[in-house]
Structure 1
Amino acid sequence: MIYSKDPIGEVTVLSDSTHIKDKGVGNVLILLIVLQCLDSGELLINDTVKVNELVEKESKGIEAINFKKGEEITLSQLIRLHLCKMSPDTSLLLAKLYREKTKRSAQERLNTFVQEQSLTANCCKNISGRKRRNAPQMYTINDLKIIANEWTKLPKKTFEYITQNECVYNGKLFERKDLKLGTELFPYRISWGNNRITFHAGTIYIILEAKNQYELDKQLLTLMSDQPARKETLDTLIARRGNSTHFDKNELAIVVTGDTYFGEFYSKRRLSRGKWDPLKEKGYEYALENVKFFLEEADFSIINLEAVLVDDLEKSPLLREKRFVLGGQATQTMNTLRTSAVNLVTLATNHIGDYGQEGVHSTLTTLKAHKMPWIGSGFDEEDALCPYRITTQEQDIFIFNGYWFISRHHVDYEMYALGKHLGGNCISEYFLQAIRETKQKYPSSKIIVICHWSQDYKAIQKYQHSTAEELITAGTDLIIGHGSHAIQTVGEILSKNVLYGLGNFVFSSEGEFELHPNSLPYGMVAKLNVLGKHMNATLHFLQEENHRTNYQPQEINSEDFELILSEWGVERIESLGWKIEKGKRTLSKKLW
């Protein structure tokens, strides 16, 4: 990621700047040229242009508008569509309109600008900005600094065009979401891919080649604050939150379970259809009856709370936007967790923002009031990063919790903690850096990352593999995942163990496994046995098909275990060092 911050009118050109290869800035520069022509009167906002065959061919692209040959579009529409998508088809159509109305080549105009402003010679060989096989392109942040500064010379009325966020074309709404960090809006911006130029408070912020939209927004906040990304050390955070436990012994059992939700959302559905509902008829503890002993017999137990704790389950801004909005009754949920020997809850999930900022705040204050420790969310971004630390006479263990990045969950649902915005802890560079710092400061410690990731009832995704590799490279010793609601197999990356998916622990949904016959209808409980300086893991399996268990998860039988072994592959499991114990229906392994 490359970034800069300059006062408007006082742009500093760097003497040594990194070249971004195989890409150009044509899609940015063509918009500037068109707005300059609007200002000079060479173009009029109601000018029109017809789609030709060349533009129509670009409709296959991911960001394409899907123009059809012969369609006519106004410059006003085209500017707004270009701001929303910055796609090759809108870039080429802007160039066509420019050529037809001014009788000059748009590419020649761009070439002249490049020469006059002393930009990188080959930064704009293609108006679309993308890679061109027979004309290699490259640019630097200096090129964008100069282009951005030219934008600020436009009259205010013309400059205002870049605040346009939506356009209806052929009955379809194209839009770019407001850039809102905390309570502050940033309307003056140009975004393409994971790049952005932002004009705010007399300053030009440029961020290029970010990994994703979250990293873009995070870096903008950091540049604006003029302060380090984190103000508190992790040690200070842990102490302030009380997120630590010391066991004055050498042997203990830590139990980690999967997705947990007592099912108020599904309860309402069942009752509305006149079906029997376990939550109403049997209460909250009913679902835990057959598996509660896992928590009670452990020295320290962790569950993934996949719900927002609120008093009013109907008060969600996402009720008509998300298919599943998971709210849990605060008092009843907490009373059940407290009487079930739960010691820590993880919160970084795709549901933490289901009830907006109020819902996250309600969840945190409820946990705090009941003296229930949590990780994965917090009262601000730093608080959300705080891990939990467990020490024994011979081991020092840090447990982090994060949710992998999904664009829609950031842009549309605002699920992630960012600055003062409440949400879940995003697995990001900020997250990875915290792991690196912990390992550097405490090199003999062990780091466990509990991840919420994957797609519901699906097999392991490539993105899980790449995310796991990043985490382990940063210093993670063990990854425990959940999020797919079905178990996913074990693995190993760089000699470190990955439990890809624990599946559900207690999750009172409506028999979703029947809709996903390729998924295994089981859950896993990971029992981590600390023995001096070593740790062994034992994996226990649960039957999670609610229609089969009558909403009471229970240990699997031998037939279930054979199915799991068949799906995962006995030879593969054993090659990874796991011991298969058919009598106990478990897998076990020495982790370190």
Structure 2
Amino acid sequence: MKRLTRLALAIAAAASIAACGSNDHEFEQGSIVTFGGDTHFGENYVESAEVSDGERLSDADRYTGGFDHLRPLLSRADYSIVNLETPLSEQTRDRLRGKDYLHFTDSAKAIPALKAAGIDAVGLANNHSMDQGASGLENTLGALDGSGLDHFGMGRDLDEASAPLIKTIERPGGGSVTLAVFAQFEFRDNYLANWPFYATADQPGAAPLDVARFTRQVDALRQQHEDLFVVAFPHWGSNYAWASDEQDRLGRQLVDAGADMVIGHHSHGTQEIARYKDRWILFGIGNLLFNSRGRFADYDRAQPYGLVAELSFAKEGGPAVRLHPFLSDNLKTGFKPRPASEEEAAALMRTIRYRDKSTSFDAKLVRDRDGRSAIQLTPLSWTNWW
């Protein structure tokens, strides 16, 4: 019976998504904050035996060309935030040993490319931020300080690493909202056992996903800011997979702890979407620009799309949410993520909507101001189904 009910809802959702092609001007009149997923220029993957000569990118393609279709979306926002999944450091002597896929990058090339793409802030709490050890952390923070890019989620101790990004977003017509974004990397037993990865009171590292600490931080912020919107920005789950039960549990705990929205990343593909206590949980928004070959062909259930999430803050209240799907399978796009077609966007949302962990939301297909297909999220309305 449950399966039949979900099938009926999925069919209704498909009709709802496919039937709508309007342009919502009210959304675009708000102040826009944009979130992008996993971002890495992929220098380390050049050394892989799997990479063919045709996949060895020039500097122009590696650092700028891949943003060609993403740049208009990121740069038009009032503020854009991404998960930067690499140290801003060359390889160091104290890089981690025994860990696969050690990331590094040339900060002199990466930082201008990020800024030229319209990115304003980078979250650094993820499973690659400490790949080059404590020296890589110092190189990263040194490169970012004074660069014009805001950064959060990594630090010389726990207080610095776990401090949220705080940004004042002006509302149209007057007033403002204080945006607080917390970058968090879930605890993993092998990381705890093998490497000094997580920040502690006397150790540099990435900000851990600690719900109790997050609760205290949010409570303190709400004492200081009347109009506060809190985003939890966790790095969690598994590569090329749907959301896990642990992500589901942690997502709800983060909302219970005070998150107004949860925007997750790490899977490299799109994951489920849930509405819980009138709050959005985007379990995984996939890649933004990630210059590896990818393994979508090996994991046929993984959705080869990334989502750029736009939050539109109007005169009051929480934001409207619009998702822009991009095909991020580099072997199909030539390492240049491209916007999903209307048919691809509708098919992706139908797939997500039918998953068990996708709950209590509706969606409609719209055209953004530049004519691209986008998915606007709305709370589930039972009147829409019958």
Which TM-score band applies after superposition, normalised by the shorter structure? 0.7 to 0.9
Map Cα deviations across residues 479-503 of structure 1 (whole Å, 9 max, x no partner): 1111111111210222221011110
CA shift in 2, pair 1:576/1:369, >3 Å: same
Q: Which residue of 1 aligns with 2:167?
A: 390
Q: Is residue 564 from structure 1 mapped to residue 360 from structure 2 by the alignment?
A: no
Which of the numbers 359, 376, 380 marks the counterpart of 1:588?
376
- 5 Å-filtered alignment, 1:75-154, equals none
Q: Which residue of 2 aligns with 1:44?
A: none
Q: Which residue of 2 aligns with 1:410?
A: 192
Task: Tell me the CA shift for residue 314 of structure 1.
Answer: 6.1
> What percent identity do the matched residue pairs reach?
23
Instruction: Give the AA of the match of 1:261.
Output: H
Instruction: Give the AA of the match of 2:304.
Output: P
**Number of residues of Structure 1 aligned to a counterpart in Structure 2:** 340
Task: Tell me the CA shift for residue 559 of structure 1.
Answer: 3.5
Task: Tell me the CA shift for residue 433 of structure 1.
Answer: 1.9
Which of the numbers 246, 249, 268 marks the counterpart of 1:466?
249
Task: Tell me the CA shift for residue 388 of structure 1.
Answer: 1.9
What is the TM-score normalised by the length of structure 2? 0.82
SS at match of 1:512: coil
Q: Which residue of 1 aligns with 2:77?
A: 298
Instruction: Give the AA of the match of 1:379.
Output: R
Q: Which residue of 1 aligns with 2:116?
A: 339
Q: Which residue of 1 aligns with 2:95?
A: 317
Instruction: Give the AA of the match of 1:266.
Output: Y
Does the Cα contact within 8 Å between 2:95 and 2:136 map onto a contact in 1? no
- Structure 2 distance, partners of 1:420, 1:494, is 37
More displaced 10-residue stretch of structure 1: 368-377 or 253-262: 368-377
Q: Which residue of 1 aligns with 2:228?
A: 445
Structure 1 consecutive aligned stretches of length 4 or more whose deviation exceeds 6 Å: 570-575
CA shift in 2, pair 1:563/1:270, >3 Å: farther
Task: Tell me the CA shift for residue 546 of structure 1.
Answer: 0.3
Q: Which runs of 5+ in 2 are unaligned?
A: 1-28, 380-386
- Structure 2 distance, partners of 1:522, 1:326, is 22
- Structure 1 distance, partners of 2:148, 2:216, is 29
Q: Which residue of 2 aligns with 1:530?
A: 313
Does the Cα contact within 8 Å between 2:238 and 2:266 map onto a contact in 1? yes
Instruction: Give the AA of the match of 2:78.
Output: D
More displaced 10-residue stretch of structure 1: 272-281 or 291-300: 272-281
Q: Which residue of 2 aligns with 1:219?
A: none
Which of the numbers 381, 384, 394 marks the counterpart of 2:158?
381
Q: Is residue 288 from structure 1 mapped to residue 67 from structure 2 by the alignment?
A: yes
Does the Cα contact within 8 Å between 1:284 and 1:336 map onto a contact in 2? yes
Q: Which residue of 2 aligns with 1:30?
A: none
Does the Cα contact within 8 Å between 1:522 and 1:545 map onto a contact in 2? yes
Q: Which residue of 1 aligns with 2:25?
A: none
Task: Tell me the CA shift for residue 323 of structure 1.
Answer: 1.5
SS at match of 1:278: coil
Instruction: Give the AA of the match of 2:123.
Output: T
- Structure 1 distance, partners of 2:242, 2:197, is 24
Task: Tell me the CA shift for residue 411 of structure 1.
Answer: 2.2
- Structure 2 distance, partners of 1:558, 1:542, is 11
Instruction: Give the AA of the match of 1:581.
Output: L
Task: Tell me the CA shift for residue 325 of structure 1.
Answer: 0.7
CA shift in 2, pair 1:502/1:408, >3 Å: same
Q: Which residue of 2 aligns with 1:267?
A: 46
- Structure 1 distance, partners of 2:164, 2:354, is 35
Does the Cα contact within 8 Å between 1:287 and 1:551 map onto a contact in 2? yes
Q: Which runs of 5+ in 1 are unaligned?
A: 1-249
- Structure 2 distance, partners of 1:314, 1:574, is 42
Which of the numbers 112, 122, 126 marks the counterpart of 1:349?
126
Task: Tell me the CA shift for residue 516 of structure 1.
Answer: 1.0
Task: Tell me the CA shift for residue 575 of structure 1.
Answer: 7.1
Instruction: Give the AA of the match of 2:330.
Output: N
- Once superposed, what is the RMSD of the aligned Cα atoms? 2.4
Map Cα deviations across residues 35-68 of structure 1 (whole Å, 9 max, x no partner): xxxxxxxxxxxxxxxxxxxxxxxxxxxxxxxxxx
